[in-house]
């Protein structure tokens, strides 16, 4: 049953919960909703509009800064989100999975005399993009930090290298059987479903919380042969408890299912790649923030992920996130492991 609140109404109503709120964050969140609608339109018509497959520039396939092949929709989603975010006066800088460095946003160059905005946005414009060609769910993940350096100069790397516990807001869009936007500004997690006939997101999942039951574990089992044996033991224990396996290859879709049904997502590091695959700033940290707000927990092999300060923009991290008691059991088992994965380079722990 679709609720009465549109995303915009809800965001503005929530603004009143924060003393001294100026409406700047509300504007930014509704702009993200607008970009999500634009990407949604393309994702839904990808097979018809010739935008399946890999992106080519001058006849050659292109790779992003991580060395991953870019899909056409990766490039479209990146262009769309960065264009919308750059036009938002509150944004001072963007870090995207698809671009190597900080995208600085100087509003004074547009004659608006405002300099740089106060919010730093980290974004995975299209998550799980290899799913597009086979018509399976994909997503977008975003995290918003408040800038620390003065607004008169371009943002610095350290404006982005903040722990997940410092996030002002985070969320994701899931382009699935229906399209949803789920976000939190720290007072719980709320989900909105897109009604394409009206062109609006409506509140459909108020105050999302992990259910008490543990039903699902999500892991690519091709990634567990060369990792901490405690993880295989944990998965065997999950099966003994009657949990079932589900894995889509899109982190957003797996996280969302686990949030609704009660589950845990695992992407470990390995002995030859202790840092794993997923990216700290625009995959792990926003989802860790949302998980916490929904009563869940998130860790890498050795620490609570909310306690880690990133040391580089495209840093990778092992990620275990979801149901709190499942994560607690996993942490206990990994802490007692005879063959733990070594700490990846560049891990800086807050406490």
Binding site for ligand AHG (CB under 6 A): 68, 97, 124, 127-129, 220, 223, 249-251, 277
**Of residues 272, 254, 252, the one with CA closest to residue 262:** 254
Residue with Cβ nearer ligand AHG (65 or 198): 65
Nearer to Mn ion, 31 or 127 (CB): 127
Choice between 164 and 334, CB closer to Mn ion: 164
Point out the residue whose Cβ comes nearest to Mn ion.
127
* In the complex, minimum distance from the CB of residue 64 to Mn ion, in angstroms, rounded to a whole number: 8
Among 124, 228, 254, 275, binds Mn ion (CB under 5 A): 124
Determine, following the binding rule CB under 5 A, whether residue 127 of this chain makes contact with Mn ion.
yes
Instruction: Name the token pair of 176.
Output: 């699935």
Closer CB to ligand AHG, residue 24 or residue 133? 133
- In the chain, which ranges are E strands? 56-57, 60-61, 91-96, 103-104, 119-127, 138-146, 169-175, 179-184, 190-195, 200-205, 216-218, 244-245, 263-267, 297-299, 308-309, 319-322, 348-349
Question: Residue length, the chain?
Answer: 351
State the nearest-atom distance from the C-beta of 181 to ligand AHG, in Å.
17
Q: Cα(first)–Cα(last) distance of the chain, in Å?
A: 43
Quote the tokens at residue 317: 């991290």
Q: Which is nearer to ligand AHG, 126 or 334 (CB)?
A: 126
- Give whichever of 69 and 349 is closer to Mn ion, judged by the CB atom: 69
For the bound state, the minimum distance from the C-beta of residue 40 to ligand AHG, rounded and expressed in Å, comes to: 17
Should residue 97 be labelled a site residue for Mn ion when binding is judged by CB under 5 A?
yes
Count of positions on this chain that bind Mn ion (CB under 5 A):
4
Please choose which of ligand AHG, Mn ion, none residue 277 contacts, taking the beta carbon within 5 to 8 angstroms, the exact cut-off set by kind: ligand AHG
Residue 140 Cβ vs ligand AHG, minimum distance, rounded to whole Å = 9
| Span near Mn ion by CB under 5 A; candidates 40-48, 94-102, 318-326, 338-346 | 94-102
DSSP 8-state class, residue 210: -
Could you tell which of ligand AHG, Mn ion, none binds residue 250, using a CB distance below 5 to 8 A set by kind? Answer: ligand AHG
Which CB, 30 or 140, lies closer to ligand AHG? 140
Q: Which span (124-132, 162-170, 185-193, 199-207) binds Mn ion, by CB under 5 A?
A: 124-132
249 binds, among ligand AHG, Mn ion, none (CB under 5 to 8 A by kind): ligand AHG
* Minimum CB–partner distance for residue 129 and ligand AHG (Å): 4
Please say whether the beta carbons of 254 and 291 come within 8 A. Answer: no
* Minimum gap (Å) between residue 341 Cβ and ligand AHG: 16
Going by C-alpha positions, the residue among 291, 229, 278 that lies closest to residue 249 is 278
Min. distance of Cβ 162 from ligand AHG in angstroms? Answer: 21
Alpha-carbon distance of 85 to 155, in angstroms, equals: 15
Q: Residue 289 in contact with residue 163, Cβ under 8 Å?
A: no
Residue 274: partners with Cβ closer than 8 Å, 6 or more residues away: 301, 318, 341, 342, 343, 344
CA nearest 146: which of 313, 25, 7, 280? 25
280 or 327: CB nearest Mn ion: 280
Alpha helices in 17-71 (DSSP H): 24-44
Residue partners of 23: CB distance under 8 A and separation at least 6: 12, 15
Nearest approach, Cβ of residue 282 and ligand AHG (Å): 8
| β-pair type (190-195, 348-349) | unpaired
**Shortest Cβ 68–ligand AHG spacing (Å):** 6
In this structure, what DSSP letter does residue 308 have? E
Residues 211-230 that bind Mn ion (CB under 5 A): none
Using CB under 5 A as the criterion, which residues of the chain lie in contact with Mn ion when the complex forms?
Answer: 97, 124, 126-127
């Amino acid at each position: 049953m679709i609720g009465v609140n549109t995303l915009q109404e809800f965001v503005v109503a929530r603004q009143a919960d924060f003393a001294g709120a100026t409406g700047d964050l509300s504007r930014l969140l509704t702009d993200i909703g607008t970009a999500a609608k634009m990407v949604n339109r393309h994702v839904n018509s990808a097979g018809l509009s010739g935008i399946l497959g890999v992106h080519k520039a001058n006849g050659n396939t292109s790779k992003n800064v991580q060395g991953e092949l870019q899909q056409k929709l990766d490039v479209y989603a990146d262009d769309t989100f960065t264009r919308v975010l750059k036009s938002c006066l509150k944004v001072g800088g963007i870090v995207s999975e698809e671009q190597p460095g900080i995208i600085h946003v100087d509003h004074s160059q547009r004659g608006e005399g405002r300099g740089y905005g106060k919010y730093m946005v980290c974004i995975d414009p299209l998550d799980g993009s290899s799913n597009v060609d086979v018509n399976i769910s994909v997503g977008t993940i975003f995290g918003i930090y408040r800038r620390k350096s003065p607004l008169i100069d371009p943002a610095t790397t350290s404006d982005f290298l903040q722990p997940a516990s410092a996030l002002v807001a985070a969320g994701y869009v899931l382009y699935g059987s229906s399209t949803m936007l789920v976000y939190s500004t720290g007072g719980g997690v709320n989900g909105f479903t897109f009604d394409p006939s009206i062109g609006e997101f409506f509140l459909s999942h108020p105050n999302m919380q992990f259910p008490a039951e543990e039903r699902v574990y999500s892991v690519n089992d091709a990634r567990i042969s060369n990792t901490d044996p405690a993880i295989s033991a944990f998965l065997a224990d999950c099966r003994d408890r009657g949990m079932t396996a589900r894995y889509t290859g899109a982190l957003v879709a797996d996280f969302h299912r686990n949030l609704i049904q009660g589950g845990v997502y695992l992407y470990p590091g390995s002995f030859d790649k202790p840092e794993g695959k997923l990216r700290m700033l625009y995959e792990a940290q926003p989802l860790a923030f949302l998980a916490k707000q929904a009563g869940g927990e998130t860790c890498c092999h050795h620490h609570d992920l909310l306690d880690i300060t990133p040391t580089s923009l495209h840093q990778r991290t092992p990620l275990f996130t979801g149901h709190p008691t499942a994560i607690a059991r996993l942490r206990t088992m990994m802490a007692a492991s005879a063959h733990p994965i070594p700490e990846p380079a560049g891990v800086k722990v807050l406490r």
